[in-house]
């Protein structure tokens, strides 16, 4: 495309306040560029959609100023995380910023992305807020269904702030030796408080789950109390992110400790479109097939869409190029992942093509045209037109 650099600059400026309509137009432009073989231009533009450009949004100097406002020492490169005294098992893993720099941000629904950006921005302006006498929330709870990108999100925040990420797997801390759990938690927080870092408490509900054990009432109280105390002590000094899939299991006292609580939902239609685009790279698929994948993955998590795209890639490799059809491969995959996602769209896909075509033609998000449906179902347009008319008559 001629003058692409100008078009890209216009899109980048416009995408600073992205609306659904704008994203769809940019997406259409990406597809058009792909169609005419301008792959590099399509990739540059697609990056605006996937938010890849956003990961580097906070300027380095800002990050340094914010880090100076944090308590603690700078973590040495050769740091060894604390261990369980009895077993010698590590209580945490440490990821230094250099290891986090290539983490790709999950593709999130627009309003959620804006909320995360605003929190990360506050964290990056810690010095400024402190100077103004304002205490920003330093801890945040992320919750939502499995595979929605929660852990990835924590990694992205750490990468944006250029801080080491100290990750505790609480199920590991707790499961083996209940008697030492409280001490392990205290040791872990002590370690995190000593350095400028983000403490990540992944699978946080493990703390709540031990409540189910009737023999351990005293120990559980001790563990929860230690945790509350540690969270309180840390709340004014260091960043803490806790993640859970089972927020309903969390003790209300723990829940209240988190000023920011972020729900990560399953991706909406715009995000599904971008996720399909991202993970389908390298697959021979038409635009309408990609749109259909975004349609049928309603109710899927990001991880499930990724798994589906990987399965399609496998089918493509296993078959001769000419023999590969996204729809056929998708049908195999729906059978092979029968228990994964129980969605009406998958059921419809496996049943009647005519019904499916009618639903697709009426879908308010996609409004599949007759020529697109003809391409999708490998039929001619008159057949599709007959199907749609038959539906109207019935
Ligand atoms: N919104 C998304 N956009 C792009 N990729 C995603 C998204 N959500 C998940 N993924 C993919 O799925 C993988 C798993 O995501 P992640 O581990 O962050 O999910 P999670 O919510 O922490 O899951 P769990 O609750 O099972 O721990 C990611 O590494 C990424 O490849
Ligand atoms: Mg996770």
Least confident of 56-60, 127-131, 133-137, 160-164: 56-60
At 200, list the tokens.
Answer: 């990540």
Q: 149, 202, 279, 307: which to mutate for ligand 1, most atoms within 8 A of CB?
A: 149
Q: Which ligand is nearest to the Cα of residue 103, counting in written order?
A: 1
Mean pLDDT of 42-56: 66
What is the reported pLDDT for 56?
44
Average pLDDT of the chain, as a whole number:
85
CB 314: neighbour CB atoms within 10 A? 12
Residues with CB under 6 A from ligand 1: 106-108, 146-152, 245, 267, 275, 302-303, 306
The pLDDT assigned to 52 comes to 44
Position 53 scores a pLDDT of: 45
Query: How would residue 3 be classed by pLDDT, with cut points 50, 70 and 90?
Result: confident
Q: How far apart are CA 7 and CA 49, in angstroms?
A: 14
How far apart CA 302 and CA 369 sit, in angstroms, is: 27
Q: How far is the CA of 208 from the centre of ligand 1 (A)?
A: 23
Mean pLDDT value across residues 111-140:
88
According to the per-residue pLDDT averaged within each range, which of 83-87, 232-236, 262-266 is highest? 262-266
Rounded to whole angstroms, how far apart are CA atoms 357 and 29?
25
Taken as a whole, the chain contains a residue count of: 394
- The residues with which 93 forms a beta bridge, in sequence order, are 167
**What residues contact 262, with CB distance under 8 A and at least 6 apart?**
112, 115, 116, 119, 140, 141, 142, 143
Return the number of other C-beta atoms located less than 10 Å from residue 144's C-beta: 20
Does 3.30.70.141 match the CATH number of domain 58-264?
no
pLDDT at 342: 66
Which residues are within 8 A (CB) of 12 and not within 5 positions of it... i.e. 6 or more apart? 48, 53
Contact criterion met (CB below 8 Å) for 104 and 205: no
SS3 content of the chain, % helix, strand, coil (to 5): 60, 10, 30
C-alpha 28: how far from chain center: 23
Which pLDDT score is estimated for 341? 60
Instruction: Give the tokens for residue 238.
Output: 């260091």
- The CA 125 to ligand 2 mean position distance, Å, reads 27
Ligand 1: atom nearest CA of 278 is 4
Q: Of 313, 309, 238, which Cα lies nearest the Cα of 275?
A: 309
| DSSP annotation string for 183-204 | HHHHHHHHHHHHBS-EEEEETT
Residue 346: closest CA among 291, 285, 299: 299
In the reported structure, the alpha carbon of residue 149 is separated from the centroid of ligand 1 by a whole-number distance in angstroms of: 3
Atom number of ligand 1 nearest to Cα 155: 18
**Mean pLDDT along residues 95-112:** 89
Q: What angle do CA 309, 311, 317 make, to 5 degrees?
A: 105
Percent of the chain with pLDDT over 90: 38
Residue 57: pLDDT over 60:
no
Residue 178: its pLDDT value, please?
62
Identify the pLDDT of residue 171.
64
The first and second tokens of residue 33, run together, are 């560029």
| Strand segments (E) across 296-388 | none
Residue 153 has pLDDT above 90, yes or no: yes
User: pTM for this one?
Assistant: 0.80
Which of 152, 171, 206, 268 has the most ligand 1 atoms within 8 A of CB, as the residue to mutate? 152
Question: What confidence tens digit (pLDDT) does each residue in 258-295 have?
Answer: 989 999 999 999 999 999 999 998 888 899 999 999 99
What does the pLDDT look like over 186-229, one tens digit per residue?
Answer: 999 999 999 999 999 998 887 766 555 566 667 777 888 888 89
pLDDT value, residue 27: 86
Going from the Cα of 150 to the center of ligand 2, the distance in angstroms, rounded, reads 6
**What pLDDT does residue 278 have?**
94
**Residue written as token pair 């003809």:** 374
Residue 44 has pLDDT above 90, yes or no: no
Atom of ligand 1 nearest to the CA of 108: 1
List strands edge to edge, sheet with 260-264.
93-95, 165-169, 198-202, 239-244, 139-144, 260-264
Distance of alpha carbon 179 from alpha carbon 174, whole angstroms: 9
Q: How far apart are CA 324 and CA 320, in angstroms?
A: 7
Query: Region 24-30: what's the mean pLDDT?
Result: 87
Q: pLDDT tens across 306-364, in order?
A: 999 999 988 888 876 667 788 888 888 888 877 666 688 888 888 888 999 999 999 99
Query: d(Cα 198, Cα 379) in Å, to the nearest integer?
Result: 55
- pLDDT band at 55; cut points 50, 70, 90: very low
Instruction: Look at residue 43 in the predicted model and tell me its pLDDT.
Output: 79
Task: Mention every residue, 6+ apart, whose C-beta is less than 8 A from residue 231.
Answer: 139, 240, 254, 257
SS3 of residue 151 by DSSP: helix
Q: Where are the domains of the chain?
A: 1-50, 58-264, 267-393
Residue nearest to atom 26 of ligand 1 (CA): 146
């Amino acid at each position: 495309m001629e003058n692409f650099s100008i078009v890209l600059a216009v899109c980048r400026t416009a995408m600073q306040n992205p609306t659904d309509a704008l994203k769809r137009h940019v997406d259409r432009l990406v597809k058009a560029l792909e169609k005419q073989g301008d792959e590099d231009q399509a990739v540059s533009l697609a990056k605006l959609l996937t938010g890849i450009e956003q990961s580097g949004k906070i300027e380095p100097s800002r990050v340094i100023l914010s880090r100076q406002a944090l308590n603690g020492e700078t973590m040495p490169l050769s740091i060894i995380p604390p261990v369980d005294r009895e077993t010698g098992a590590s209580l945490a893993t440490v990821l230094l910023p250099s290891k986090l720099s290539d983490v790709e941000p999950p593709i999130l629904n627009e309003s959620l992305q804006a909320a995360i950006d605003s929190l990360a921005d506050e964290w990056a302006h810690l010095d400024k807020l402190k100077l103004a006498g304002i205490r920003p929330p330093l801890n945040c709870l992320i919750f939502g269904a499995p595979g929605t990108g929660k852990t990835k999100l924590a990694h992205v925040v750490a990468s944006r702030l250029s801080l080491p990420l100290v990750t505790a797997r609480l199920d590991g801390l707790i499961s083996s030796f209940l008697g030492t759990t409280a001490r392990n938690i205290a040791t872990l927080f002590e370690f995190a408080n000593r350095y400028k870092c983000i403490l990540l408490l992944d699978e946080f509900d493990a703390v709540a789950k031990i409540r189910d054990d009737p023999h351990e009432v005293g120990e559980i109280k001790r563990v929860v109390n230690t945790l509350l105390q540690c969270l309180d002590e840390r709340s004014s000094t260091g960043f803490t992110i806790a993640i859970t899939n089972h927020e309903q299991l969390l003790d209300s006292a723990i829940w209240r400790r988190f000023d920011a609580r972020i729900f990560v939902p399953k991706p909406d239609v715009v995000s599904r479109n971008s996720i399909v685009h991202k993970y389908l790279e390298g697959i021979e698929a038409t635009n309408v097939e990609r749109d259909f994948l975004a349609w049928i993955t309603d109710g899927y998590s990001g991880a499930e869409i990724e798994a589906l795209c990987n399965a399609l890639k496998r089918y493509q490799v296993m078959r001769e190029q000419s023999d590969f059809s996204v729809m056929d491969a998708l049908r195999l995959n729906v059978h092979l992942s029968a228990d994964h996602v129980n969605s009406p769209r998958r059921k419809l896909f496996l049943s009647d093509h005519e019904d499916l075509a009618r639903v697709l033609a009426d879908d308010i998000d996609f409004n599949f045209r007759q020529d697109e449906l003809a391409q999708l179902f490998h039929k001619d347009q008159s057949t599709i037109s007959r199907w749609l008319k038959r539906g109207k008559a019935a």
